[in-house]
């Protein structure tokens, strides 16, 4: 009698997300080059061969981690940019959305900061370059609009301000922990208060 084939079981989306979350933590802690499929499998409590049942390579894993993060980031950013807000309100909304993304994808943000320059040299990761250019255009355009309509100071160095805001927001991924004392919205509020209004009282 012919042997019966075992039915193939499709990996559940939930399990896939769990494995990607584990992989993201390993990539963030050890770096892409130092991370092996075996290390990810060990962290997930499974055999390396079993991990290949879900993903064909560590490159595929980091690709999905970064593309998922950037897709969600741009869903939020595009909604802000399409809302017709004034320059200050746009900056406030973009900063708030950024902290929300750090809350949702802290490890992915850390990976992006450490690895995107290297990964972007590969055709598969061209979207990292495209996203960075779009990101810069959105922020610089908002700051320029604010200077033009006198919302922001006329002597503002637009590019320097952009770099300061960008770096001080996203570096939060190195210390932020979801479920901590402050919500991402509260951190954004405190940050915006310091950046837009300063920390010294008028004397």
CA distance 130 to 117: 12
Q: Name the band, by pLDDT with cuts 50, 70 and 90, for residue 6.
A: very low
Closest C-alpha among 121, 96, 145 to residue 32: 121
Confidence of residue 5 (pLDDT cuts 50, 70, 90): low
Half-sphere exposure of 139 (CA within 13 A, CB side): 22
Banded pLDDT at 7 (limits 50, 70, 90): very low
For residues 118 and 28, give the distance between their C-alpha atoms in angstroms, rounded to a whole number.
Answer: 14
What band does 4 get if pLDDT is binned at 50, 70 and 90?
low
């Amino acid at each position: 009698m012919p042997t019966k084939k075992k039915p193939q079981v499709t990996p559940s989306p939930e399990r896939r997300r769990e494995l990607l979350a584990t992989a993201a933590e390993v990539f963030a802690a050890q770096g892409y080059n130092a991370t092996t499929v075996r290390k990810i499998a060990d962290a997930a409590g499974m055999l390396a061969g079993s991990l290949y049942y879900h993903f064909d390579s560590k490159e595929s894993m980091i690709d999905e981690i970064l593309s998922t993060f950037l897709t969600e980031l741009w869903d939020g950013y595009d909604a802000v940019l399409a809302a017709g807000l004034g320059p200050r309100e746009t900056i406030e909304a973009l900063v708030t959305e950024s902290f929300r993304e750090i809350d949702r994808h802290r490890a992915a943000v850390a990976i992006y900061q450490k690895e995107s320059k290297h990964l972007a040299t590969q055709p598969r990761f061209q979207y990292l370059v495209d996203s960075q250019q779009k990101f810069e255009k959105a922020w610089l355009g908002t700051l320029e609009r604010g200077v033009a309509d006198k919302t922001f100071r006329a002597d503002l160095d637009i590019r320097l301000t952009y770099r300061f805001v960008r770096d001080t927001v996203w570096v939060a991924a190195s210390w932020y922990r979801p479920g901590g004392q402050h919500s991402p919205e509260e951190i954004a509020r405190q940050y915006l208060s310091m950046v837009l209004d300063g920390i010294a009282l008028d004397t």
